[in-house]
Amino acid sequence: MDYFQMESYLKAIGDSNRMRILKYLMKDSLCICEFTELMKMTQPAISQHMKKLKQAELVLEEKRGRWTIWSLNIRHAQYPILIHLLSLLPEPERTIETLKAEGKKVVCE
C-alpha cells in the first residue's frame, strides 16, 4: 500500500458519520433508508457517504429489487484493522432494535 492509498483509506474511515455507518454494518447489512432513520440524516447525505466508502472498497453493495443492501467488505486487506478501530468506539444510540420497536424497521427483502 502506498502513501496515497493509505491516505484515501484513512480519509474514508476518518469521518464520524461514516464511522457510525461502518459500526452499524458490523452488526447488520442495511439499506440507505434504514441509515436515514438510524442516523437522522437525509437520503442524499447517506448515499454520498456510501459512495465514498464504496470507492475505498470498505463496503459492498447488492441490488435487491428497489433496495441496495450495503455490507462490510470482509475481504478488504485492512479489514482486521478496521474492525479493531471500530471496536474502540461506543455503540450508536439508535439501534436496529429501537427501529423495530418504533415500527420503522424497513423490510428490504
Partner DNA sequence: TGTATTAATAAGCAAACACTTATATAATAA
Partner DNA sequence: TTATTATATAAGTGTTTGCTTATTAATACA
How far apart are alpha carbons 72 and 60 in whole angstroms?
A: 6
* List of residues contacting a copy of itself (CB under 8 A): 1-4, 6-7, 10-11, 13-16, 19-20, 78, 81, 84-85, 88-90
Q: 68: which residues sit within 8 A by CB, 6+ positions away?
A: 31, 32, 61, 62
Nearer to a copy of itself, 21 or 69 (CB): 21
CB of 23 to a copy of itself, least distance (A): 9
- Alpha-carbon dihedral 58, 60, 66, 67, rounded to 10 degrees: -60
Chain positions contacting DNA, by CB under 7 A? 11, 14-15, 17, 31-33, 41-45, 47-52, 61, 63, 65-68, 106, 108
